[in-house]
Amino acid sequence: MAQSILHTAESRDKSDHGWLKSYHTFSFGGNYNPERIQFGALRVLNDDWVNGGMGFGEHPHDNMEIISIPLSGALQHEDSMNNVAVIESGEIQVMSAGTGIYHKEFNKNADEPAEFLQIWLFPNQRNVEPRYQQQRYSDDIFKNKFKQILSPDSNDSGVWIYQDAWFSIAEFDQETTSTYALKNKVNGLYVFMIKGSAKFSEQALNERDGFGIWDIDNVVIKAFKGSKILLMEVPMNY
């Protein structure tokens, strides 16, 4: 029988550092909630706003798959693997931290905020060699249909990570009903409503709501006009 959990936008913890405003779907930093640690392999889902010219100083990570999805503005990225890059809306960035990396990110534009989703997944392999990947997408490929942007396979669509996870995004300019079939039946599906509203298996969702569902083969999605949706299929045995 299908099981599910709803995390409304209003139930998220919030951190306000002045230059950074961050909403945490799961426990992060000093915001601890024992009932909101993770959804399977999905450990962090932060909804971040960074003021112009500001950012995160150099800091370390290890043994975590770190995904950034910009929603507006531009972020400058620099890391200990000598990568220097700018990521913008319409792109996805992944880092496999593995044995350990240092990186820093800041808003490249001084006069406008940058908005992005920061997502962490537990890896299925520890102490791998750190790696970085970035990919751009044409906006029209997401129109009224889900397009895969991440997988465990370097030969598949989108970027890849060390985890049996698949991410997809769609943006709808008309009411659309579709079905998402899980790639692996032991996985669960976590939905994040970037904007707008939708129904997942009759569960109504609004902007910035999160919804996890598992013990299913597929889920019926009714997306309403003006919605943008991120789907994250992840293993549940974590």
Report how far residue 69's alpha carbon sits from residue 170's, in angstroms, rounded to the nearest whole number.
Answer: 13
Domain encompassing residue 125? 13-136
Q: What is the pLDDT of residue 30?
A: 83
DSSP character at residue 98: T
- Measured between its terminal Cα atoms, the distance across the chain in Å is 20
Among candidate residues 183, 190, 175, the one with its CA nearest the CA of residue 41: 190
Among candidate residues 71, 74, 116, the one with its CA nearest the CA of residue 228: 71
Bridge partners (DSSP) of residue 150 are 159, 167
Question: Does residue 21 sit in helix, strand or coil?
Answer: strand
pLDDT, one tens digit for every residue, the chain (238 residues): 899 999 999 999 999 999 999 999 999 988 888 999 999 999 999 999 999 999 999 999 999 999 999 999 999 999 999 999 999 999 999 999 999 999 999 999 999 999 999 999 999 999 999 999 999 987 778 999 999 999 999 999 999 999 999 999 999 999 999 999 999 999 999 999 999 999 998 899 999 999 999 999 999 999 999 999 999 999 999 9
> Do residue 158 and residue 47 come from a single domain?
no
- Domain limit, last residue, from 88, 117, 136: 136
Q: What is the CATH number of the domain that holds 39?
A: 2.60.120.10
- Domain limit, last residue, from 68, 103, 136: 136
Q: What is the pLDDT of residue 140?
A: 79
- Domain limit, last residue, from 85, 106, 136: 136
pLDDT in tens, 149-193: 999 999 999 999 999 999 999 999 999 999 999 999 999 999 999
Report how far residue 115's alpha carbon sits from residue 164's, in angstroms, rounded to the nearest whole number.
Answer: 27
> Do residue 82 and residue 67 come from a single domain?
yes
